[in-house]
Amino acid sequence: MSTPEKSQFLFLFRNRDDQPDPTPDEMQQIFGKWMAWLKGMKAKGQYVGGDRLLDGGKVLREAKGAKVTDGPYAESKETIGGYVIVTADTLAQAAEIAKGCPGFDYGTAVEVRPIEKLPPI
């Protein structure tokens, strides 16, 4: 009998723009905490992938004559700094996994969203 496939969930990391920049030593410590968290999820078979997002980008609004603005979210006091995709049985389990995010220590919020797979194209 085959095991049912787990669902995938997206973690969006929302960083507050009003936080002070960490020192190089603090950055190294923060990076170490993130890597430990990600490696822990990978060891449990939960981590699918993810990346940090660079500053900059564009936001397009409207279908015709699209309005293009700099930023992603130039009007906001927070930016999306990265994402991770995990597997879990339920949204509640994915949220429980997200509670381990080291970003909470410095003002990061984690948005947990279920992913619905599109049919192959």
Residue 24: partners with Cβ closer than 8 Å, 6 or more residues away:
none
What's the pTM value of the predicted model, to 2 decimals?
0.82
The residue-averaged pLDDT of 64-88 equals: 74
CB 107 within 8 A of CB 20: no
Residues 24-47: tens digit of each pLDDT: 999 999 999 999 999 999 999 999
Q: Where are the beta strands (DSSP E) in 5-108?
A: 7-16, 47-52, 58-61, 67-70, 78-88
For residue 11, the model assigns a pLDDT of 98
Give me the phi and psi of 30, to 5 degrees please. -60, -45
- What domains can you pick out in the chain, each with its CATH number? 7-18+25-114 (3.30.70.1060)
